[in-house]
């Protein structure tokens, strides 16, 4: 067959499917080899700090309340001790947009650094569950053999022990997640009370703990490669300047076992000696000795030497693995390192400041500034005040008229608040329908809301045409916290 008729080999074929799916569509279960190293220990320290924060978080209180609470059911949120209510929707939306820009910026510059170092899935999987698995079943080969082998006594007790510990930890995680939703005190109350009194909650807890168990016992890497949307976004967020875990192909290729290289050189030298000619040039050899340790340690089962891939969670295990090999073969570390594609090709340091990162940073700073402005201007109470629908001007006497208004007060704090209304731009009187004691219950109690109606009476000589603009101040502890603008309907309207 002529060269032109040769089929073109698709060297990027691995990108057509994820690494853990075989040609017949079946899952390829990954057994990553145990690997330690500089980056592993650094990640361990970060993971230990985050795990401690996760475990003590629900018990940290600010003014007697949880530091963090995400009670979606009761729409009760506390973030770093600051309570948020459903009325903070705009603030929430701006926070979400700002977070999104930060994620985009961070990913464009540093890739999936979050996944490898901070993500709860990686922290629990690699630093808790995987370590228990190694301790019980041994390293990758032993674990694989155990899985493939028959159900012997050894397999039954090892699997039984592992799954029991996995389930107990999953149960603890589920309780902690619940503590972040309803508060640690409520969870402790539920634990102490009879199951029959909260059977629905008990079933939900079992379901969640089983889900966690399945995620860490079986689903594992599939969470990062197929379920997590952040991983899927990588393709559009990264560019050639993104600093990710990369194989330096300029330095590593052509790869090959170190022994072959020596043998080849010796053969060439012998040939040169026997034929009395100059030593022919030895084919240049890269630093990669093709040991495949970087592939064997990868928890998502990829070969980083193929380039940046969707499945890479930047866990740095291949960096540690390759550094250990480079030490053994006495070559410089860093064949796999944090590097951008451009820095490898151009043999230059990584570039953090690029047009793209600067543009994202400008947007981020503007949004953070706006968010700061909203937070500073955030009042303890949100007031809705408007003329009662369908009502008209009412004559009080020859000199005075009144309008009826409805008000609604939303408390954004965790304390009961007493407020007062005062007319700011006109002389007049306020006559409350019912109690004039404006007490607003704390956020989370009765929706943190108080509502009612009030008549405002003005002197006719103060009226300005059809509708007189009114400014009403909302006062708390004698201090004005809000100004409301509304209108007062004159006679004949
Ligand atoms: S390629 Fe390296 S950094 Fe990426 S997931 Fe695999 S081991 Fe971790
Ligand atoms: S660990 Fe390093 S030397 Fe070994 S195959 Fe991977 S890149 Fe090559």
Domain co-membership, 374 together with 432:
no
> Could you tell me the residue range of the domain that residue 79 belongs to?
17-253+288-378
d(CA 338, CA 347): 14
DSSP for residue 27? B
The residue behind tokens 């860093």 is 334
SS3 384: strand
- Best residue among 250, 255, 288 to mutate for probing ligand 2's pocket (most ligand atoms within 8 Å of CB) is 288
Q: Whose CA is nearest to atom 4 of ligand 1?
A: 312
Number of domains in the chain: 2
On whether residue 458 sits in a domain, the answer given is: yes
On whether residue 258 sits in a domain, the answer given is: no
Domain co-membership, 77 together with 98:
yes
Domain co-membership, 62 together with 166:
yes
> Does 125 sit in the ligand 1 pocket, CB within 6 Å?
no
Positions of the chain with pLDDT lower than 70, given as ranges: 1-16, 259-284, 444, 446-447, 493
Rounded distance from Cα 292 to ligand 2 centre (Å): 5
The confidence score (pLDDT) of residue 259 equals 62
d(CA 447, CA 293): 58
Of 341, 356, 378, the last residue of a domain is 378
Of 356, 378, 400, the last residue of a domain is 378
On whether residue 280 sits in a domain, the answer given is: no
On whether residue 59 sits in a domain, the answer given is: yes
On whether residue 9 sits in a domain, the answer given is: no
Q: Whose CA is nearest to atom 5 of ligand 1?
A: 312
Rounded distance from Cα 235 to ligand 1 centre (Å): 16
Q: Would you give the distance in Å from CA 5 to the centre of its chain?
A: 50
Angle of the 199-214 helix axis to the 153-182 helix axis, nearest 10: 130
On whether residue 153 sits in a domain, the answer given is: yes
On whether residue 277 sits in a domain, the answer given is: no
pTM of the predicted structure, to 2 decimals: 0.79
Domain co-membership, 396 together with 477:
yes
Q: Whose CA is nearest to atom 8 of ligand 1?
A: 315
**CA of 313, closest atom in ligand 1:** 5
d(CA 296, CA 19): 13
Which tokens is 361 given? 């940073």
Which tokens is 17 given? 């499917």
Domain co-membership, 187 together with 99:
yes
d(CA 368, CA 100): 12
Q: Whose CA is nearest to atom 7 of ligand 2?
A: 288
> Does 322 sit in the ligand 1 pocket, CB within 6 Å?
no
Burial of residue 216 (number of CB atoms within 10 Å: 0-12, 13-18, 19+): buried
Domain co-membership, 336 together with 391:
no
Q: Whose CA is nearest to atom 4 of ligand 2?
A: 291
SS3 107: helix
Domain co-membership, 67 together with 205:
yes
**CA of 301, closest atom in ligand 1:** 6
On whether residue 261 sits in a domain, the answer given is: no
Domain co-membership, 320 together with 394:
no
Rounded distance from Cα 294 to ligand 2 centre (Å): 6
**CA of 304, closest atom in ligand 1:** 1
Q: Whose CA is nearest to atom 8 of ligand 2?
A: 288
**Domain harbouring 406, CATH code:** 2.60.40.10
Rounded distance from Cα 341 to ligand 2 centre (Å): 18
DSSP bridge pairs for 385: 407
Rounded distance from Cα 207 to ligand 1 centre (Å): 32
The confidence score (pLDDT) of residue 3 equals 46
Residue 411's CB is within 10 A of a number of other CB atoms, namely 27
Domain co-membership, 323 together with 435:
no
Of 330, 361, 378, the last residue of a domain is 378
Domain co-membership, 454 together with 466:
yes
Domain co-membership, 212 together with 229:
yes
Rounded distance from Cα 98 to ligand 1 centre (Å): 29
d(CA 32, CA 87): 48
- Best residue among 293, 316, 318, 324 to mutate for probing ligand 2's pocket (most ligand atoms within 8 Å of CB) is 293
> Does 244 sit in the ligand 1 pocket, CB within 6 Å?
no
Residue 401 vs residues 42, 457, 492: alpha-carbon distances, Å: 74, 6, 11
Domain co-membership, 409 together with 475:
yes
Q: Pairing state of beta strands 82-84 and 244-247? A: unpaired
- With a CB cutoff of 8 Å and minimum separation 6, the contacts of 295 are 301, 302, 303, 304, 318
Which tokens is 464 given? 């300005």
Q: Whose CA is nearest to atom 3 of ligand 1?
A: 314
């Amino acid at each position: 067959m002529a060269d032109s008729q040769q089929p073109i080999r698709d060297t990027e074929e691995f990108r057509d499917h994820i690494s853990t799916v075989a040609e017949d569509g079946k899952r390829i279960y990954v057994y990553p080899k145990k690997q330690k190293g500089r980056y592993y220990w650094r990640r361990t320290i970060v993971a230990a700090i985050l795990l401690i924060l996760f475990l003590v978080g629900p018990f940290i209180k600010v003014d007697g309340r949880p530091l963090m609470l995400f009670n979606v059911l009761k729409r009760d949120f506390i973030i770093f001790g600051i309570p948020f209510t459903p009325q903070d929707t705009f603030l929430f939306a701006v926070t979400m947009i700002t977070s999104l820009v930060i994620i985009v910026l961070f990913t464009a510059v540093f890739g999936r650094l979050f996944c490898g170092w901070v993500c709860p899935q990686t922290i629990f999987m690699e630093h808790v569950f995987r370590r228990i698995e190694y301790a019980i079943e041994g390293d990758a080969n032993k674990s694989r053999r155990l899985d493939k082998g028959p159900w012997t006594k050894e397999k039954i007790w090892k699997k039984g022990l592992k799954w029991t510990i996995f389930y107990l930890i999953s149960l603890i995680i589920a309780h902690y997640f619940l503590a972040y939703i309803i508060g640690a005190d409520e969870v402790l109350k539920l634990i102490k009370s009879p199951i029959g009194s909260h059977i629905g909650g008990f079933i939900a807890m079992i379901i969640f703990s089983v889900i966690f168990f399945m995620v860490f016992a079986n689903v594992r890497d599939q969470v990062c490669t197929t379920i997590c949307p952040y991983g899927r976004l990588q393709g559009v967020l990264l560019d050639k300047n993104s600093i990710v875990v990369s194989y330096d192909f300029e330095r590593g290729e052509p790869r090959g076992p170190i022994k072959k290289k020596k043998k080849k050189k010796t053969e060439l030298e012998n040939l040169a000696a026997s034929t009395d000619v100059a030593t022919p040039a030895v084919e240049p050899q890269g630093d990669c000795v093709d040991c495949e340790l970087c592939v064997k340690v990868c928890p998502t089962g990829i070969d980083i030497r193929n380039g940046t891939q969707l499945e890479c969670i930047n866990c740095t295990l291949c960096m540690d693995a390759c550094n250990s090999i480079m030490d053994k073969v006495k070559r410089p570390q860093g064949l796999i390192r944090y590097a951008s594609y451009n820095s490898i090709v151009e043999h230059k340091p990584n570039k953090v400041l690029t047009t793209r990162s600067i543009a994202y940073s400008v947007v981020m700073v503007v949004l953070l500034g706006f968010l700061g402005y909203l937070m500073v201007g955030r009042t303890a109470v949100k007031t809705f005040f408007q003329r009662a629908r369908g009502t008209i001007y009412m004559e009080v006497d020859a000199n005075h008229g009144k309008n009826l208004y409805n008000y609604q007060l939303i408390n954004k704090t965790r304390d009961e608040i007493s407020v007062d209304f005062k007319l700011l731009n006109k002389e007049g009187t306020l006559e409350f329908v019912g109690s004039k004691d404006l007490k607003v219950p704390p956020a989370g109690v009765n929706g943190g809301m108080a509502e009612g109606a009030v008549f405002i009476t003005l002197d006719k000589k103060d009226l300005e045409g059809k509708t007189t603009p009114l400014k009403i101040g909302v006062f708390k502890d004698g201090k004005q916290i809000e100004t409301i603008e509304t209108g007062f309907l004159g006679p004949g309207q």
